[in-house]
Every structure is written in structure tokens, then in C-alpha cells.
Structure 1
Amino acid sequence: MSDPTTTSSEHGPKLGQGRAVTVPGAEYFDFTSRITGREHRLFISVPAGDPPPEGFPAFYIFDGNGCFATVAEIMRSRAPADGLRPAVVVAIGYATDDLMTAMALRMKDLSTPATPEWLAALPFAIPGLTADLTGGLDDFIRVVEEEIRPAIARLAPTNPSDQTVMGHSLGGLAVLRILFTRPAMFRTFVASSPSIWWSDQAILAGEQAFREKVEAGEVSPRLLIDVGGREQTPDSGALRHFKTMAEAQASADFCGMVENARALGQRLGSLKSGHGYVAETVVFTDEGHVSVLPAAISRGLQFALGVDVASGPTDAR
């Protein structure tokens, strides 16, 4: 193929020198956590213009290396005309430009502890994962609360009573952990395709105490759980990760992504509270575990920042 920077054809122009693509109005900052010693990268977008008197809402999302550009562009395109309130976007990731490196690093920060026996019994392999590379979630939550949020408050005027946290897969598990153990830490929680299956569903150990707090009127968070409707239906793409479709189906059945998300959403949605508590469940019927993410981000932003927020379980088609 000819070099487009040096040649042209009769059907097209000479393109000139290529340039790096940037996200308008965005910056990133690297720091080393004093709590964990791990290096993080914060991808941040601050709205143009003056903040409201109480400060901008803040939207935090995990897996920032892969998610930030999507969130920032949706906000940039939708906020002016589509009923989304301007907000400070904070995507928490790692100090690397390699997405696979970031995905490996997340395993420690976004998971509760897993035993060697449980990992060995999994019906699928997670290459390179050992028990000592799991279980850092509670420390990571401290990093968010004690280091990242104060840094953001110094960088931009944010409203401490109107902040959202979103995560997908293990990130969704992390959101549930914060919800169950620190329900007043954020106003809004978006758990996308949460890995409830992780470590024999240990995350659910905190559910009952959370339920009691909601029904006693002690906390009233807003919660959205979403999942792709095809997350338990492997397609031909699953053969890139599994030897046979039977193995892929066994893995999907073990994780029970759709069943677990729906069941938890139903339980939390049935709680009785007269204090503004909201719990919605959305099933994106035609999406899988990876393809659901853009739709989940769009719906999560609407749930968190929309002027008019619908309530009640939904099947998105």
C-alpha cells in the first residue's frame, strides 16, 4: 500500500502528516497512591463555563483507560442539547498506554479476595491470575475516598452530594461493594454487568445490612444495575477464548451474569423506603458482555445526570 503522506491518486487528496487524536477539554494526571503504592492515571474532563452555586455534579468511572473517551464524548455531544447536566468526569485508570496492561492491573483493585482453591475450580482460565493478585478492592475504595476525591475537589468545584460511581464487570462488583459497605459515599451507583459470581458470590454478604439501612431510612442512594441480555448466550466470537462452544456455554452458565443481575435488581428494587431511594434494572437485550458497555455508559449518564429520570425496571431493545 502506498504511503498517504507522500502520494495521492486521481481519486483522493494527499493527506499530509498524521496527528495524534485528542479528547477536547480533557487532561490526565498520574499519581502514586500512598495507601497502596500503585500508580494510577486520572482522566478528567471539566465542563466549560461557570459551575452552579453548589458545584458541578461528578461522574466517576472505573477502567478509565478504556472508558474515558466514550464518556467524555457522550457528555460533549449530549449535555448541551439532550438533557444531561454538565458534570466533571473522572475516569480512574493506570499509568500506561497499553490497554491489556491496564486490564491486568485492575484485577487486584476491583476484586474481593479469592482463594487458590476457588481459582483452581473455575471452569475457565484467567491467565496469570493467582490469589495474591486479588482482593485489593477495600484498599482501592480508600484510594478513591481519601486521595482521588479530595484531589478532584481541589481541581474543580464539585457538589459532594451529587456524585456518581460507575463500573463494568469487576468494576460493577466494585460499585456493589461500595454500595453495600459505604452507601453514603456516592449519591448514584451504576453497576454494569456486575461480576456477582466472583469468589462464590461473596459480594452478597453485605446485601442484608444494606437492605436494613434502606428500609430504616438511614440511606437512600440511587442505583442502576444493567446487563447485556446475551451475556449467557455465547456466540461464535466466544471460540476465540474457548476451545469449544460447550466450554463457552459452561463458563456463561457458571457466571450467570443475566440471572444474577436480574435477581439482585429485583430484590433491591422491592425495598420499601420513603426517602428517595431508587433501584432500577435495565437489560440490553441484544448486547453481550463487551458490546453492552457503550449502551451502559449512555444509560448510566442519563440515570445520573438526566433532568428527568424515569424509574422502574426496563428491558432496553
Structure 2
Amino acid sequence: MNESVANPSYAHGRWLGALWVLLALTACGHAPGLPTEAARPIVIGQSQLLPSSILGGARRINVYLPPGYADASRRFPVLYLLDGGEAEDFHHITGLAQVVAFNGKTQELIVVGIEGVDRKHDLTPPSKVPGDRELLPTSGGAEAYRRFLVEELQPWVAAHYRTTGRSSLIGESLAGLFVTETFLRAPTSFDDYIAISPSLWWEGEALSHEAASLLRAQDFRGRRLWLSLGNEGGAMQSAVDRLVGSLTDAALPGLSWHFEPRPDERHDTIYHPAALTALRALFPVSEP
């Protein structure tokens, strides 16, 4: 006897099972009788190795070009992203760069991500504090890394992409320390600096203690600094407060700076919301 006739619940169960199989196949693109498309990669950028005589080896550079780059008559500012590898912050920041430009109120940007090799070495200046050297034993390579960015990477970008000549540097945590140190010690390296929750605790807050004298010694005309800090407390908070105080007291002509406290964010949550706000603030579209 046909079991589906003798047992209606059995027939109902088989019907439901067949329906679920059909739905699953449809979701996977393999439903019987429906056309299929071969999987294709989703491409958001270009990646290549850039040889460096300064660093003694090649570094991987990831480049995001905005949709408007298809117009060969247009040029774009460049955002240099520290920790810019595919497994680091490249996807996050290029996504923000795309989002902020959607509404037409924010400029489109070329994003150049520098993939980290040993960030504890590349992003820190040498420290005289024994505890720092014990914590980060490979630290101290910031000066050479800065030379690589300015002397090798920036000319390579200018030679291969249509840029406006305006350059910005963004980083968080140790990368934020590097951004802040570059701003204070070599301000002409970039036009704009975005430092988010910078690790200014490094070397007993030495950089923040030097900030006042460094601000007096350098030419900051035409530079912009966008600084943000999460709910950090301790040496992070005191060092940033000291830096903000030095910036306020210096009142340097031609320097534009902004401090955005974010007590609602932790060290591990601040990067996205702070970067989003910074990009909107620093790269507005000029009204016609």
C-alpha cells in the first residue's frame, strides 16, 4: 500500500522536507531549472609590494580608488592608513570612505593602506623606560618608518595615481602615537593628521611633555590635527590632556586643530565612530 495514503502525516512530512530542500537549493543558486552564475571575487582595491631601501625589504601597499576615479579628469586627496593590511583596518576605513561620500557632502578619497609587519617596532620611537622595552622588545623604529612613508611611499603614490597633492595620515592606538609624533616632530610630512586614542602613555608620557617646545620649534601653518580619545583614563588621559593644553596655549597661526572626547567609547570601540566623524569634518564638499 502507498504509505502516503495510509499515513497522511507521513505525506505531509515528505512535502515539507521537499520544500525545505527546494528553498535551500534556491538560496545556494542551484534550484533545478534556474540559471546559475559562477562565483566572482568582490574587488575593493589593488595590492602590491613596494620595495624599500630605507626599511630593507618590501612592504605591501593596498590602495582603494573611489568610484569617481573612473573620471580621468578628476584628482583626489590621499588618506594614508597605518595598520592598512587586509587583516587589519583596510576594509574598515575604506568602507567609511565610501559611506561618507555617498551623500555628496564629503569628498571622495584615495585610501592607501600600509600593511603592518612589526607594528610594535614601526610605530614607536625608542623609549628609555625599562618597562616599555620589556613590554615591546622590538620597539623604536618610528623614525625609519616615517622616512619610508615620506621619501618612498608618497612619491610612488604621486607617480601612479591622480592625486590633488593633499595627504592625510590616520591611525589608532600605537598608530595614533605615530600620527601624533609625526605631527609634532615632522609636521610637513602630511597635511592632515587624524590621531584616535593615541598611546601617549609611551615612555612615561614623554611626547606630551615635549609638546609645548615642539609646537614652538616647528612651522605648523596649513596643517590640520583631528584628535580623539575614548574612555581611557590613566596615563592615556593625562597625556592627551597635556597635549590639548599645549595646543591651546600655543595658539599657533595657520594651524587648525580639534579635540573630540568620546567618553562613550572604549579603546576597542572608538576607531569607527571617531574616524567617521573625522572624515566628515576634514573633507567636506565645497558648496557651489
Aligned twin of 2:125: 112
Matched position secondary structure for 1:260:
helix
Unaligned 5+ residue runs, structure 1?
1-7, 95-101, 233-252, 309-317
Aligned twin of 2:56: 37
Q: How many percent of aligned residue pairs carry the same amino acid?
A: 23
Deviation string 1:114-136 (CA, Å, 9 cap, x unpaired) is 3472337x7xxx4xx42xx1100
Aligned twin of 2:158: 153
Is contact 1:180–1:209 with CA below 8 Å preserved after alignment? no
1:77-156 → structure 2 map (5 Å cutoff) = 77-94=99-116, 102=117, 105-115=118-128, 117-119=130-132, 126=135, 129-130=136-137, 133-156=138-161
Counterpart CA distance in 2 for 1:135 and 1:109 is: 7
Aligned twin of 1:278: 256
1:136-285 → structure 2 map (5 Å cutoff) = 136-160=141-165, 162-204=166-208, 206-213=210-217, 219-229=221-231, 231-232=232-233, 253=234, 256-275=235-254, 277-285=255-263
TM-score by length of 2: 0.78
Quick one: which amino acid aligns to residue 76 of structure 2?
Answer: F
TM-score by length of 1: 0.72
The answer to whether 1:296 aligns with 2:278 is no
Q: Which of 28, 32, 38 is matched with 1:15 structurally?
A: 28
Is contact 1:60–1:90 with CA below 8 Å preserved after alignment? yes
Counterpart CA distance in 1 for 2:238 and 2:129 is: 26
Deviation string 1:251-271 (CA, Å, 9 cap, x unpaired) is xx3xx2233223312331443
Matched position secondary structure for 1:79:
helix
Deviation at 1:72, TM superposition (A): 1.4
Is contact 1:184–1:219 with CA below 8 Å preserved after alignment? no
Counterpart CA distance in 1 for 2:91 and 2:269 is: 16
Root mean square deviation of aligned Cα: 2.8
Counterpart CA distance in 2 for 1:180 and 1:52 is: 35
Question: For the pair shown, which has the larger CA radius of gyration, 1 or 2?
Answer: 2
Quick one: which amino acid aligns to residue 258 of structure 1?
Answer: Q
Q: Report the CA distance shift for 1:143/1:227 in structure 2 as closer, same or farther (over 3 A).
A: same
Q: Report the CA distance shift for 1:19/1:198 in structure 2 as closer, same or farther (over 3 A).
A: farther
Counterpart CA distance in 2 for 1:118 and 1:92 is: 28
Deviation string 1:199-254 (CA, Å, 9 cap, x unpaired) is 2223236523432156xx6634111111112x23xxxxxxxxxxxxxxxxxxxx3x
Deviation string 1:48-94 (CA, Å, 9 cap, x unpaired) is 233677x3111111000211111212222321314111121111114
In the alignment of these two chains, the number of paired residues is 256
| Structure with a larger share of its residues in helix | 2
Quick one: which amino acid aligns to residue 279 of structure 1?
Answer: W
Matched position secondary structure for 2:239:
helix
The answer to whether 1:56 aligns with 2:76 is yes
